[in-house]
Structure 1
Amino acid sequence: MSKPAAKPFSTATRPIAPPPLSQHLCEFAARPEAWSVFARNLIPVVGIYFFGWSAALTVFNYWFDGLAALAAIIAVLIPRAMRESQSKTEEGGQRSEIGAAILNTVRGVVTWVFLLGLVGLPYWIVLIPLHDLLLSPGLRYQLAYTPALWFAFGSLAAGHLWKALRMGYDQMPENQLKQRVRWDVYILVLRAVAMFVMAAQGLAFILVPLMALLLTYGELWPERVLGAVFGDPSRLYEYDPDNPAKTRRPR
């Protein structure tokens, strides 16, 4: 009698427990960029305790910070995507340099808008339950007539763009690029969930500092966050959405 076929299983492992607190503290102290990440995530905490920020402004800060980071990563990836697609779809006719530059710019902008709308879908969905905060007239008035907020949020966006440029997304091998992009997508989903929790708890003051710590942890050690929730984070690149069978193997 033949044995029944073994069920395939995912290459992802069980959730991985993070290391002890002492190891985290040592690693944090040894990484100079960790302090800037922590300081950036403390902006809403300082705003609430010292500048009287409203709940709407605090939620907007978390929303804008995540969306700006995503927009910066996509913007850095666009030139690579344009080069790879151009080699496959380039027609035989010659175009003038100016015409080609204009066409590539338009394609790049359209692609950036499309990908930001698609990959950033969790952030657009968050606008539905949080529309009373993120789309409130009071928040719009604060953003329109407070130059200090222009500088603060502009600095956040510029910082994310600078970080994305330094990460070298444009030069990463394909598998490494897939891995990094999927890390960012999963972290984005977890961040959106955290925003829902904030809304459900009424933005209690104790929760805002906790969010600063959680966001800092997720940015400094994304592999540990993903490992604790989704399993082995080093094999995310193996998933093939066009052929899920490739991501499974027999026992």
Structure 2
Amino acid sequence: MNDMAQAPSVPLLEVRHLSKSFGPVQALSDLSMALHPGEVVALAGDNGAGKTTLIKAISGVYKPTSGDILLDGQRVTFSSPQEARERGIETIYQDLALADNLSIGANIFLGREPMRKAMGFLPVLDRRRMAEAARETMALLDFHVKRMDAPVSNFSGGQRQAVAIGRAVYWNARVLIMDEPTAALGVPEQRKVISLIHQLKAQGRGVVFISHNLQDIFAVSDRIIVLRRGVRAGERRISETTHEEVVRLMVGG
């Protein structure tokens, strides 16, 4: 994990003057932000504020109309989410994209299954390696379930979030973009997800946290960036702002 540590002056991820338009519609306009190792930056704003466009531009879904994205101070361009993942940017969307009928290990390796050679036969799935990866990754997140081989459909919402986060961690994601990770969860499950995010911070990873839940934002974030109609309406350190001020920035009051 030490290889993630670096001088605080160099952001892990930086967005400079990013704009994105869809025909005549300007979804993002001249937006800049930075994310440092071990930091959680929240994105807040009403529907249509530009949050989804921003994270899709960072993660390779959209090509920005103008502006730059930098990793470790180096300019990068991604033509697909796969390219962004290969560089250590992982997005965990609300639907999690888990295969319900498969185990934790199988979900970690989904689409990248490890194979081993069987004597005289075609290669077969290396189930032992998948199980070991599941145990090690879940231990890293201080996450415990009784049956690691159970299908993830058996798990609660918070546990499923842990599996999605574990997959990103196993593939060495350094920037995790989390889209509404506590939505539709009960309070105990929300607390578990918040705990998982604190674990990621402690490992020196950077987290972009998108949420409508200001309570969760204040519980886990270091800074909050408020978007309104595609522009940055304001940025505050969580320790220096209030729920009321954030709401005023969101609505333009």
Higher strand share: 2
Higher helix share: 1
The reply to whether TM is greater than 0.5 is no
Give me the TM-score of the superposition, normalised by structure 1: 0.23
Give me the TM-score of the superposition, normalised by structure 2: 0.23
Greater length-normalized contact order (CA 8 Å, ≥ 6 residues apart): 1
Which has the greater radius of gyration? 1
